[in-house]
């Protein structure tokens, strides 16, 4: 009687397991599947193989056929313990036979210490542990899958290798970390996969791997097996070059690029990373830029998001080629001594069903409360920065681009939206922090950790904040209560100066302060002056079309504005197309209007940018003291009536300086007197009215094109002065000729 009861209980137990296997909801597969002792003398091998007609166990000396459990895909083989050795599965299907390993005979290869750090929020290289990794384990080559889904009732790996069946490769759950893992032998690169997640409510979700190194292109939504790229190693020379070109006293001129629309190939196809490495780097070098900044290249499903709604944060987009092709592009930048920055988006993520939203059926990566977890401007979700695992995810992603590809730095998008709990929210639509304030304490701490770890592990990089408010200490060090960025975009300068330049010159005299106010706070942060993609989209018009007047005046205004920008304290950033005065707004679906260079006016703007970059890099006074008040002095910031601005930029050696004068009216002023600090001869090193730049070629020095000698007449608070002809709508740079060079 007792044996019958035991047999009945066992069968009932199996029925429960079979039912869970059928439903694809099995939280502890290793407790049932694989090899298990059933007595002191016997063991069972249990395998669940949907679609199999027969299953055998191949032992060292024999192959034994399993018994199918009634009305199921569960196969069982009972063995005497002395017969057990290494084994393989021989699976018969209606059209083929497959010999494979039993995934449930492998122990976990997960690093418990790494998982502790992941749960703590400090795992800098989480991408080396989570996701899909090709490894050799127990003498077998295969892939270790691991995913964080602490609230799931079951997780399985689905893919091309198991016909997307969620009941074949159930994963092992680690309650301490909330991570699931499974080692599957015999897989190859290029196979697609996802995680099938059964939630506590029984809903089945199919999610892409948050740590995948490659993703399918839309309309595909799967992750793709890809070996982790070998880290790019910089030579000592390259490391020194990186530190030098990113320093606060260096000339930094950034060319912002959307790879999909800079240039297109035949019939509108994308250029490849290989082609871009040749064309784009050569173009940037030719025209004097020091850095390239790529709009987001982490894999994103929707072209219209420009990359700002990424789903695969660890996957360089395959729109332009494979991982090796991207590595080649990066390496060519290094060889050309061109800095490479990448737009990074830690402020929000999209609602795509295969993405991070409600990843395990709960608000895992985002806040559950929509007042903290949903972004009203972009209809996206906001990371829960208070959660340690989310911090590990974001810190690791930042580290991935820097450590594995040795890029120069990250431009962090939408920092203001991260810092403020009430960002773009009305009263009652946000939750104060624990102190009653509007500061997002979790986001602040996350940004600090990102910057600390990125700078600490990658000397010589630059971390850049797109931060549009007056938040104090964005570029102050973390140990001095700052956020720890290296640079911040000067959005105030951008807004004020563009407002000014769009005005008719007749009315500029009433808004003179819009070009002078930036110097009130110019040294509060380490600034970059940006004219980015945001200024030439969404009905704002192109930069050239913002300029007032007839066509000649538009181009003259733009050239003068660029020269004012290049002389103003702060590093420079210009969006592609602006250097050729593209007339149309930027369109991500097509190439820049390169045909405009057939016209002299557009050639003139391009030459202006080239000349500005070369002068800017050559003249230490224009960049060396960008963050030091000693590097700037107004000559005259009060001449509102004539809309003339004049100032001096000094190098560390005070005798090395450049005088800058901008006349932003269409009138020419002859015999215009300007104060200078020292006696001597002065030469013109840039004049945006030069005929080679499509200007009217007014001579700055009426008597000669070469030099002019100062007079000992005090003007504008300076002890000496010179008289010049000031061209209409033009900016002029003057430099004192070194005494030893005067004959």
3-class secondary structure for 472-518? CCCCCCHHHCCCCCCEEECHHHHHHHHHHHCCCHHHHHHHCHHHHHH
Query: What is the spatial distance between Cα 458 and Cα 408, in angstroms, rounded to a whole number?
Result: 9
351-401: per-residue pLDDT in tens? 999 999 999 999 999 999 999 999 998 999 999 999 999 999 999 999 999
| 3-state secondary structure (DSSP) of residue 739 | helix
334-344: per-residue pLDDT in tens? 999 999 999 99
User: Is the pLDDT score of 1 beyond 50?
Assistant: no
How far out from the chain centre does Cα 668 lie? 46
Query: What is the spatial distance between Cα 43 and Cα 290, in angstroms, rounded to a whole number?
Result: 68
Calculate the average pLDDT of the chain: 94
Give percent of the chain with pLDDT exceeding 90: 89
Residue 48 contacts residue 33 (beta carbons within 8 Å): yes
- Answer whether the bond into residue 190 is a cis peptide, omega within 30°: no
Q: Which pairing describes strands 154-159 and 192-198: parallel, antiparallel, or unpaired? A: antiparallel
Q: How much is the pLDDT for 27?
A: 86
Q: How much is the pLDDT for 7?
A: 46
pTM of the model: 0.95
Structural domains in the chain, sorted by start: 2-105 (2.60.40.10), 112-224 (2.60.40.10), 621-741 (2.60.40.1180)
User: Is the pLDDT score of 5 beyond 50?
Assistant: no
708: Cβ contacts below 8 Å, ≥ 6 apart: 681, 682, 701, 722, 723, 724
425: Cβ contacts below 8 Å, ≥ 6 apart: 371, 376
Task: Pinpoint the alpha helices (H) of 568-690.
Answer: 600-618
505-556: per-residue pLDDT in tens? 999 999 999 999 999 999 999 999 999 999 999 999 999 999 999 999 999 9
Of the candidates 462, 468, 485, 569, the one whose C-alpha atom is nearest the C-alpha of residue 522 is 569
Q: How much is the pLDDT for 3?
A: 47
Q: Residue 711 carries which DSSP code? A: B
DSSP H/E element including 450: helix 441-457
Find the mean pLDDT for residues 22-51.
90
477-505: per-residue pLDDT in tens? 999 999 999 999 999 999 999 999 999 99
3-class secondary structure for 156-186? EEEEHHHCCCCCCCECEEECCCCEEEEEEEC
Q: Which pairing describes strands 253-257 and 204-207: parallel, antiparallel, or unpaired? A: unpaired
212-229: per-residue pLDDT in tens? 999 999 999 999 999 998
Other residues' Cβ atoms within 10 Å of the Cβ of residue 238? 17
Q: How much is the pLDDT for 13?
A: 66
| 3-state secondary structure (DSSP) of residue 534 | helix
Q: What are phi and psi of 58, to 5 degrees?
A: -95, 110
Q: How much is the pLDDT for 215?
A: 97
Other residues' Cβ atoms within 10 Å of the Cβ of residue 53? 12
436-458: per-residue pLDDT in tens? 999 999 999 999 999 999 999 99
Of the candidates 604, 537, 534, 547, the one whose C-alpha atom is nearest the C-alpha of residue 573 is 534
Q: Residue 735 carries which DSSP code? A: E
Query: What is the spatial distance between Cα 282 and Cα 334, in angstroms, rounded to a whole number?
Result: 13
Query: What is the spatial distance between Cα 169 and Cα 29, in angstroms, rounded to a whole number?
Result: 9
Indicate the range of 481-495, 587-601, 726-740 predicted with least confidence.
726-740
Find the mean pLDDT for residues 157-172.
94
Find the mean pLDDT for residues 244-270.
97
User: Is the pLDDT score of 4 beyond 50?
Assistant: no
Give percent of the chain with pLDDT exceeding 70: 97
Active-site residue list: 413, 466
248 by Cβ neighbours in 10 Å (0-12 / 13-18 / 19+) ranks as middle
101-122: per-residue pLDDT in tens? 999 999 999 999 999 999 999 9
Q: How much is the pLDDT for 11?
A: 52
Indicate the range of 5-19, 488-502, 637-651, 719-733 predicted with least confidence.
5-19
Query: What is the spatial distance between Cα 661 and Cα 647, in angstroms, rounded to a whole number?
Result: 7
518 or 739: which leads in pLDDT: 518
133 by Cβ neighbours in 10 Å (0-12 / 13-18 / 19+) ranks as buried
46: Cβ contacts below 8 Å, ≥ 6 apart: 32, 33, 34, 36, 74, 75, 76
pLDDT band for position 705 (cuts 50, 70, 90): low
């Amino acid at each position: 009687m007792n044996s019958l009861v035991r047999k009945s209980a066992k069968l009932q137990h199996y029925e429960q397991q079979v039912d869970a296997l059928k439903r694809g909801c099995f939280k502890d597969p290793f407790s049932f599947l694989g090899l298990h002792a059933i007595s002191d003398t016997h063991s069972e091998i249990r395998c669940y193989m949907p679609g199999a007609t027969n299953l055998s166990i191949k032992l060292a000396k024999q192959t034994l056929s399993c018994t199918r459990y009634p009305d199921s895909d569960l196969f069982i083989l009972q063995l005497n313990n002395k017969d057990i050795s290494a084994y393989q599965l021989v699976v018969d299907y209606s059209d083929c036979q497959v010999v494979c390993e039993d995934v449930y005979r492998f122990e976990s290869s997960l690093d418990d210490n790494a998982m502790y750090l992941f749960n703590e929020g400090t795992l800098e290289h989480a991408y080396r542990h989570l996701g899909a990794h090709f490894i050799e384990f127990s003498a077998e080559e295969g892939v270790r899958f691991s995913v964080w889904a602490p609230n799931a009732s079951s997780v399985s790996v689905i893919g091309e290798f198991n016909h997307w069946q969620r009941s074949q490769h159930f994963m092992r759950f680690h309650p301490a970390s909330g991570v699931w893992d499974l080692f599957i032998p015999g897989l190859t690169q290029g196979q697609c996969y996802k995680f099938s997640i059964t939630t506590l409510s029984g809903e089945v979700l199919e999610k892409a791997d948050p740590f995948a190194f490659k993703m399918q292109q839309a309309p595909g939504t799967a992750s793709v097996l890809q070996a982790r790229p070998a880290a790019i190693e910089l030579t000592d020379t390259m490391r020194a070059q990186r530190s030098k070109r990113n320093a606060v006293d260096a000339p930094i001129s950034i060319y912002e690029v959307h790879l999909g629309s800079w240039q297109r190939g035949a019939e509108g196809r994308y250029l490849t990373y290989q082609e871009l490495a040749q064309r784009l780097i050569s173009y940037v070098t030719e025209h004097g830029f020091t850095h390239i900044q790529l709009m987001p290249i982490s894999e994103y499903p929707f072209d219209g998001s420009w990359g700002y709604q990424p789903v695969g944060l660890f996957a360089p987009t395959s729109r332009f080629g494979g991982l090796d092709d991207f590595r080649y592009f990066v390496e060519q930048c290094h060889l050309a001594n061109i800095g490479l920055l990448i737009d990074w988006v830690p402020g929000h993520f999209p609602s795509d069903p295969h993405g991070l939203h409600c990843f395990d059926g709960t608000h895992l990566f985002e806040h559950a409360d929509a007042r903290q977890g949903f972004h009203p401007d972009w209809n996206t979700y906001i990371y829960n920065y208070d959660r340690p695992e989310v911090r590990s995810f974001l810190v690791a992603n930042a580290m991935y681009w820097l450590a594995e590809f040795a890029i120069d730095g990250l431009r962090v998008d939408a920092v203001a939206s991260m810092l403020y709990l009430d960002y773009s929210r009305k009263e009652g639509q946000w939750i104060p922090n624990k102190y009653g304030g509007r500061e997002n304490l979790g986001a602040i701490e996350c940004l600090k950790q990102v910057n600390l770890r990125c700078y600490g592990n990658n000397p010589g990089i630059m971390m850049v904040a797109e931060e549009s408010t007056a938040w104090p200490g964005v570029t102050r060090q973390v140990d001095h209560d700052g956020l720890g960025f290296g640079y911040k975009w000067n959005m105030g300068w951008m807004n004020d100066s563009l407002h000014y330049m769009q005005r008719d010159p007749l009315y500029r005299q009433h808004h003179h302060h819009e070009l002078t106010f930036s110097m009130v706070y110019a040294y509060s942060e380490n600034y970059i002056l940006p004219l980015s993609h945001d200024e030439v989209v969404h009905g704002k018009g192109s930069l050239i079309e913002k300029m007032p007047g007839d066509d000649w005046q538009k181009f003259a205004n733009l050239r003068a504005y660029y020269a004012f920008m290049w002389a103003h304290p702060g590093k420079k950033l210009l969006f592609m197309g602006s250097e050729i005065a593209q007339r149309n707004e930027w369109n991500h679906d097509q190439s820049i209007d390169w045909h405009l260079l057939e016209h002299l006016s557009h050639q003139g703007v391009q030459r202006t940018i080239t000349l500005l970059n070369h002068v800017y890099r050559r003249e230490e006074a224009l960049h060396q003291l960008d963050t030091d008040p000693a590097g700037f002095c107004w000559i005259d910031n009060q001449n509102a009536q004539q809309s003339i601005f004049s100032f001096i930029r000094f190098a560390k050696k005070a005798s090395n300086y450049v005088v800058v004068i901008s006349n932003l009216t269409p009138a020419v002023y002859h015999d215009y007197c300007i104060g200078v600090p020292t006696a001597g001869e002065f030469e013109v090193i840039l004049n945006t009215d030069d005929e080679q730049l499509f200007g009217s070629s007014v001579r700055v020095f009426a008597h000669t094109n070469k030099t002019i000698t100062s007079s000992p007449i005090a003007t504008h608070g300076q002890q000496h002065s010179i008289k010049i002809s000031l061209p209409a709508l033009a900016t002029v740079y003057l430099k004192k000729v070194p005494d030893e060079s005067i004959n």
